[in-house]
């Protein structure tokens, strides 16, 4: 029997500095923040836990989410670490390499209807 892992792109690596499209601050007063990736936890969640009940040669394990442990930097340096969930399948855009990229992305998001 073989166990395979479905390929998935994991954006960025431990040690990278990223801009995060997630509200930040005690009152979520900042629309985004900058942080250094301290760890990445690959999460298949219980729904993707592999329980083998059939006689099959190959079983596929799917890791569909990553939890990024981030240490805030820049104007938020010294704040507590933050965990950010990122859906890998389908790919979710909430980590960016520059402040300009996150601002451009946020400028093109439609506002929710009231």
112 within domain boundaries: no
Q: How many domains does the chain have?
A: 1
87 or 35, which is more confident: 35
Domain-embedded: residue 91: yes
pLDDT in tens, 74-100: 999 999 999 999 988 787 888 999 999
**Looking at the domain assignment, is residue 46 inside a domain?**
yes
- Please indicate, yes or no, whether the overall pTM of this predicted structure exceeds 0.85: no
Domain membership flag for residue 25? yes
CA distance 33 to 19: 6
Bridge partners, residue 43, by sequence = 65
45 domain-assigned: yes
Question: Within 10 Å of residue 37's Cβ, how many Cβ atoms?
Answer: 20
Q: CA 105 to CA 112: how far, in whole Å?
A: 15
Q: Is residue 14 part of a domain?
A: yes
């Amino acid at each position: 029997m073989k166990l395979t892992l479905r390929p998935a792109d994991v954006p960025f690596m431990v040690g990278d500095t990223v801009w995060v499209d997630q509200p930040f601050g005690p009152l979520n007063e900042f629309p985004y923040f900058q942080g250094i990736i301290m760890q990445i936890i690959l999460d298949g969640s219980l729904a993707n836990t592999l329980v083998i009940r059939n006689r099959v040669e190959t079983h596929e394990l799917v890791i569909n989410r990553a939890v990024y442990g981030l240490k805030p930097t820049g104007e938020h340096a010294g704040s507590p670490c933050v965990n950010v969930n990122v859906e890998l399948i389908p790919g979710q855009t909430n980590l960016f390499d520059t402040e300009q990229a996150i601002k451009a992305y946020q400028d093109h998001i439609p506002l929710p209807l009231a």
